[in-house]
Amino acid sequence: MKFARLLPVLLFAFAGAALAQSSPNHNDQPVTFSGLAPKVEKSFLRDIKGTVKDVNGNALQGAIVRLKDLKSGKVVTTETDKDGAYVYYDLDIRSEYELTATHDGFQGPVTKRVSEYDTRRPAIRNFELERKTEKKPG
């Protein structure tokens, strides 16, 4: 009987966790691969961060940076802040990651990888996006 009362609470918690991982982060909370993943020893954790700018070096606020863990297939996204910066916290250094940056009005997406053999902490991946040019008819 206790399980029957606990089941709706568990389902609500799992649904909330799934929704939180799939929706864009608006820089109000750190973006991590938390949840049901096994705990990783702190010595195996690192951050990945960087900036998204245009070809003239101007920061692109609101760019979407998507992070995919190439081992598990898990994907999370975040938006860049006013300085064009993004950061993903507490990632397993033994995994490989693919980062993809996009922004409306710019060519893309632009993709970069972080190898498990890249042991820098934090790993920095900066993006440069080029404006879309309208093709003139004729």
**What is the per-residue pLDDT for 138?**
56
pTM across the whole model: 0.68
Q: What's phi and psi for 22, nearest 5 deg?
A: -95, -15
**What is the per-residue pLDDT for 135?**
66
Contacts of 43 (CB under 8 A, 6+ apart): none
DSSP state of 106: B
Neighbour-count burial of 91, counting CB atoms closer than 10 A to its CB (0-12 exposed, 13-18 middle, 19+ buried): buried
DSSP state of 31: B
| Domain spans of the chain, in order of start | 2-129
CATH placement of domain 2-129: 2.60.40.10
> Which residue is it, tokens 């934090």?
122
* Cα-trace Rg, the chain: 18
**What is the per-residue pLDDT for 136?**
62
Per-residue pLDDT tens over the stretch 75-103: 999 999 999 999 999 898 999 999 999 99
Per-residue pLDDT tens over the stretch 1-35: 454 454 454 444 444 444 444 444 444 555 555 55
